[in-house]
Amino acid sequence: MPSIQGRIIFCGENPEMKLYRPDTEQLVALASYWRCTFSLHGIGNALVINVESDTPNTPMLQGIYTDNFELGRWLADTFVQHFEDFKGRGWPQIQLTQARFVQEMDSRRYHRVAVYSANDHLILTWDEALAQRLFHVPQLTTGLNGETKHDVYTVICPCKTGSIVVNGQGVEGQVRSDLSDPNWPRCTAFMAFSETWVEK
């Protein structure tokens, strides 16, 4: 049986969501959730989230919620800060928030994550999964200063709808979807299962 060479540094799940103000190009919220089943920093959960306010450059909420501080810091600094639209938001300077995570899911259709901290209660829902496909993304830029590269293997499930609720208030944004390709829908919310990061 052939194997893939390299050091495995992360296994788990990594759904992502980007919400836009209806009928505009304005990004109002972005979230990267991580459920880690294996890493060199232990297991656990982390949510990296930014929700915009009506004041430019002043987020209503920006945080890194986690139940494993070492893991949460590593995920945000090594990976998330390099993701599209997450770049340039100062994640290495954001303090971590201790949180508890509760999941509800049927991976064929939806995934819901509730996050509880001392001051906040967040609910993120990925819904109406449209398809599933295995991807290999080679040579992603990673590391605190972009000094390393990793290959990623993951099962992506685009979701037609998604929502974020912050302390009982729903974020006024929606998932953008392009359903023009019958073979592969493109959505700004997706579930990501069986995700493995390999250091080359």
Region 63-75: mean pLDDT is 98
Residue-wise pLDDT for 138-157, tens only, equals 998 888 787 888 999 999 99
- Could you tell me whether strands 148-166 and 121-129 are parallel, antiparallel, or unpaired per DSSP bridges? antiparallel
CATH number of 7-199: 2.40.370
DSSP class of residue 174 equals B
The predicted model gives 25-50 an average pLDDT of 97
Neighbouring CB atoms inside 10 A of 18's CB total 22
pLDDT of residue 106: 96
**pLDDT of 55 higher than 80:** no
> Mean per-residue pLDDT for 74-92?
93
pLDDT level of residue 58 (50, 70, 90 thresholds): low
Interval 181-192: pLDDT, tens: 888 999 999 999
User: Model pTM?
Assistant: 0.94
| Mean pLDDT score, 187-200 | 96
CA gap 153, 119 in Å, rounded: 35
The Cα–Cα gap between 24 and 36 comes to 34
Q: Which DSSP symbol is given to 183?
A: T
What are the residue ranges spanned by the domains of the chain?
7-199
Residue 171 gets the label, from left (phi > 0), alpha (psi -120 to 50) or beta, of beta
| Whole-number pLDDT of residue 46 | 99
Residue 166 has pLDDT above 70, yes or no: yes
pLDDT at 113 over 90: yes
